[in-house]
Structure 1
Amino acid sequence: MLVKWIRCAVSDRRGFERGQRKWAGLLGEPGFRGQGGGWSRNRPGVAHVLGFWESRAFYDSAMARAHERLAAAQSGTFTDMQVKLFDHRFDVKTGFEPRFTDADTVRLAHCRVYPQREEHFALMQERIWNPAMAGSPGMVRGLFGEAPGNEFLILSMWQSAAERGKYQAQGVERLSTRAGTESDVAAITGDIVELEPSWTV
């Protein structure tokens, strides 16, 4: 599965939201699995959109056909857009599906990993971070994605920001020490996204 992460600095919130609903036009595109998103809890005016496709080939085909027409509805509503594509490598918890109806909050952790540390980083994610996150009350589902250039995305969906906050408070520092995160990760950025139900496709 291919994961598309779009981050926008929005200048016209109402216009952007109106345009976002037009992406329902993706329904019926071959290989399209779902899309959702919302507003950053930490950065005013920043929107995140997450799209899911069965493969890069399906995604490229849809972009060539439908993208310009659908994107036109949001033209002029944002000042900056960053798009990143990740290949799904494994689930956090089990059976990831691109559904947004049972979650309120998405946590995105974007990691740049030192060269030759990618496999160790992925192994620690699987053995240490995943079980801790999967066992945390309020965690719905998640995935671990990879992009060329030692980049990874850990996406986790939560019933609420409060539940996600409890997990963070309970032991991120301890888990980080156990996993040797400092030796693997050159940089980590991310955000907490409050989902907008009307953006779900």
Structure 2
Amino acid sequence: MLVKWVRCGVLDRPGFDHGQRGWTAAREWPGFRGQGGGWSRSQPGVAHVFTFWEDRPAHDAFAAGPHGGLAAAQEGTFELLSERFFEHRLEVKVGFEPSFAGADLLRVALCRVHPDRAEHFTQMQQKVWNPAMAGSPGMLRGAVSQDGDGDFLVLSLWDSATERGKYRDGAVSRLSERAGLDVDVLSVAGDVADVVPEWTV
């Protein structure tokens, strides 16, 4: 499964929001699996949008077809800050579905991993991080993906900021030490966003 992460600097918030609600037409396209996103809590005016596809050819066919017409509704409302593609590697909870339904908050972490530590990082996701997140009340679903450069995207969806805060405050430092995160990664950049239900497709 292909994961597309788009980060936008929004210039016209009402216009961008209105246009984002029009992407429901994508659900009829072959290979489309789901879409959702929301507004950054730490960076005013920044929007995160995640789209899931069966594979890259399905996405590219859509991009060559109806994408332009749908995107036209948001023309001039934002600046594209980044667009990244990742391949799904692991589920955080068994039975992951690319759905934002019921989520109030999303957490995204981009981990730049030392090339010779990618295998260990993946193992620690399976053995340490994923079980801890999956066992946290309020964590709905999540996925770990990887791009061709070795960067890992960790996306988790939560039913409330309160529950996510409990996990962050009580577990992150302890789990980082146990997983040897400082040895595996060159850098970790992340954000937390309030999910906009009307953007969910």
Q: Secondary structure at the match of 1:136?
A: coil
Matched, 1:127 2:148: no
Letter in 2 for 1:27: R
Q: CA deviation at 1:172?
A: 0.7
Matches within 5 A, 1:11-22: 11-22=11-22
Write the distance in 1 (CA, Å) between the matches of 2:163 and 2:4: 25
Write the distance in 1 (CA, Å) between the matches of 2:45 and 2:37: 13
Letter in 2 for 1:138: G
TM-score of the pair, normalised by structure 1: 0.98
Matches within 5 A, 1:29-178: 29-178=29-178
Write the distance in 1 (CA, Å) between the matches of 2:139 and 2:199: 21
**Structure 2: runs of 5 or more not aligned:** none
Letter in 2 for 1:35: Q
Write the distance in 2 (CA, Å) between the matches of 1:193 and 1:26: 23
Write the distance in 2 (CA, Å) between the matches of 1:99 and 1:121: 25
Q: Which runs of 4+ in 1 moved over 4 A?
A: none
Aligned residues: 201
Letter in 2 for 1:182: D
Q: CA RMSD in A?
A: 0.8
- After superposition, the Cα gap between the structure-2 partners of 1:3 and 1:163, relative to the gap in structure 1 and judged at 3 Å, is same
Q: CA deviation at 1:21?
A: 1.1
Deviation readout 1:101-133 (Å, 9 max, x if unpaired): 211111001111112111110111110001111
Write the distance in 2 (CA, Å) between the matches of 1:55 and 1:63: 13
**Structure 1: runs of 5 or more not aligned:** none
Q: CA deviation at 1:67?
A: 1.4
Write the distance in 1 (CA, Å) between the matches of 2:80 and 2:99: 27
Letter in 2 for 1:151: D
Q: Secondary structure at the match of 1:116?
A: helix
Write the distance in 1 (CA, Å) between the matches of 2:111 and 2:190: 8
Letter in 1 for 2:66: A
Letter in 2 for 1:197: P
Write the distance in 1 (CA, Å) between the matches of 2:180 and 2:42: 27
Q: CA deviation at 1:150?
A: 1.4
Identity among equivalent positions (%) equals 56
